[in-house]
Structure 1
Amino acid sequence: MGSADLTGRVALLTGATSGIGAATATLLAERGAHVLVAGRDGARGGSVVAAIRSRGGKADFLAADLRDAQSARRLAHAADELGGGRVDILVNSAGLFPFGPTAQTAPSDVDAVYDLNVKVPFYLVAELAPAMAERGQGAIVNVSTMVAEYGVAGMALYGSSKAALNLLTKAWAAEFGPRGVRVNAVEPGPTRTEGTAGMGEDLDALAAQAPAGRPATAQEIAEAIAYLASDAASFVQGAILPVDGGRTAV
């Protein structure tokens, strides 16, 4: 049986200064990983790192305003250097999730969502997965969404970008899996985080449609990501794991 222990692993997490990313960084560090917390906000990133270190974990912050191939490559190279020449785990957690009518969506918003939700993970995997494959071991976890599975009015842009990420997950599993790199994704349902605080009752209404009947905590999503990142999921490849309180099952 595989182990959930991550001692000695180097984990790079994007969007890790708050919400699901921060919860995952904290959990991976608790399980022994050297966590590289990537994000735009240095104050929030420093707070996440300080909290991890205060509990005896190993963490560093990497400033990254991810928006294109160049910024993704810079982050990959910085992570590789800080990780002592390798990154064993990549968690693509950074994302934009604007909601609204298709006809009122600005072209700049379409570009921004696809740049961060699709292109940045593509370039990070392009930079980091080949070296994982050369070492014969690695894990990549993409953070998707339940609305990549079904249509919701007002979520065409966000849902379609994550549907693309789901397909990339399967294609990368086929491409890198034979050389020891496991690529999987989680599909969170409504989750209570700093980023969704502005949704108010809309978040609860969305969550009420699922058997669980409530929003998830960031910790609950982090547990699923940590599982896929660990050797406990050693025979799991190309999976899209719903962590949505049962919404896509009914």
Structure 2
Amino acid sequence: MGSIDLAGRVALVTGATSGIGAATAELFAERGAYVLVAGRDAVRGESVVAGIRERGGKADFLAADLADADSAHRLAQQATELGGGAVDILVNSAGVFPFGPTADASARDVDAVYDLNVKVPFHLVARLAPAMAGRGSGAIVNVSTMVAEYGAAGMALYGSSKAALNLLTKAWAAEFGPSGVRVNAVEPGPTRTGGTAAMGEGLDALASQAPAGRPAEAREIAEAIAYLAGDAASFVQGAILPVDGGRTAV
């Protein structure tokens, strides 16, 4: 066990049944948080929870499809109840990342991306941040993407949804920061996860454009999220932290 700077905190992590979300849940638990693992797949979710418990951590699974405002509201209520009346940390990690030509995206595709990548975080923050502000403390970390920073063919739908999340991050920092709630975001670059495995060599090709020259491991992104959620980042508010191997720096 390393740092325990999240001891006693209740952390809700969406999209926590795999990839970056699962790595974040596991790291938070290692650092002492009680982690609420939220996601659609109960089998994978319970597996993440079991792994955390085997290592001495505390976690529970919350099933959530996060398809609309009602599902976000239900998750916020369930998390608050399991957390004994409080959620101290919210990580908006759930998301979809479709790539492809703009003309190929259906109206349903556009709605699905914006519902999960933009509207659900909005509704979760609307339900959870005021209570954090009332207590005078809290941390929210949004998981964005490097392609929210620059134009890329095939990335219009995904990149624009995360660019919206970046602006929400700054607006929420302005809104809730004076009450002690820190709101920040991370922008991962290409990362090896179950979800990106389908990209095959394309993932390595994309990663080769950055100074690091390789994809990230999910744990590397989780470390940045844990930093922003923890006390070491006490003076960091409204930041959009690139964790992309240097891609947006060149």
Q: Which residue of 1 aligns with 2:231?
A: 231
- What's the TM-score once normalised by structure 2's chain length? 0.99
The alignment partner of 1:110 has SS state of helix
The alignment partner of 1:212 has SS state of coil
The alignment partner of 1:59 has SS state of strand
State how 1:127-166 maps to structure 2 within 5 Å.
127-166=127-166
Contact 2:211/2:247 (CA < 8 Å) preserved in 1?
Answer: yes
State how 1:1-250 maps to structure 2 within 5 Å.
5-250=5-250
Q: Matched residues in 1 for 2:176 and 2:66: separation?
A: 24
Contact 1:4/1:227 (CA < 8 Å) preserved in 2?
Answer: no
**1:79-111, CA deviations, whole angstroms, 9 ceiling, x for partnerless residues?**
000000000000000000000100111110000
Aligned residues: 248
**1:107-128, CA deviations, whole angstroms, 9 ceiling, x for partnerless residues?**
1000000000000000000000
- List runs of 5+ in structure 2 lacking aligned partners: none
- List runs of 5+ in structure 1 lacking aligned partners: none
Contact 2:4/2:30 (CA < 8 Å) preserved in 1?
Answer: no
Q: CA RMSD in A?
A: 0.7
The alignment partner of 1:73 has SS state of helix
The alignment partner of 1:219 has SS state of helix
Q: Matched residues in 1 for 2:220 and 2:8: separation?
A: 24
Q: Matched residues in 2 for 1:93 and 1:103: separation?
A: 27
Q: Matched residues in 1 for 2:98 and 2:69: separation?
A: 22
Tell me how far 1:4 sits from its aligned partner. Answer: 6.1
The runs of at least 4 consecutive aligned structure 1 residues that moved more than 6 Å come to none
**1:186-245, CA deviations, whole angstroms, 9 ceiling, x for partnerless residues?**
000000000000000100000000000000000000000000000110000000000000
Tell me how far 1:135 sits from its aligned partner. Answer: 0.1
Contact 1:17/1:37 (CA < 8 Å) preserved in 2?
Answer: yes
Contact 2:144/2:188 (CA < 8 Å) preserved in 1?
Answer: yes
Q: Matched residues in 2 for 1:76 and 1:104: separation?
A: 34
Tell me how far 1:53 sits from its aligned partner. Answer: 0.2
- What's the TM-score once normalised by structure 1's chain length? 0.99
Q: Matched residues in 2 for 1:109 and 1:138: separation?
A: 33
Tell me how far 1:67 sits from its aligned partner. Answer: 1.1
Residue identity matched to 2:190: P
* Overall identity of the aligned pairs, in %: 85
**1:132-157, CA deviations, whole angstroms, 9 ceiling, x for partnerless residues?**
00000000000000000001100000
Q: Matched residues in 1 for 2:209 and 2:148: separation?
A: 16
Contact 1:37/1:45 (CA < 8 Å) preserved in 2?
Answer: yes
Q: Matched residues in 2 for 1:103 and 1:42: separation?
A: 35
Contact 1:140/1:184 (CA < 8 Å) preserved in 2?
Answer: yes
Q: Matched residues in 2 for 1:47 and 1:79: separation?
A: 19
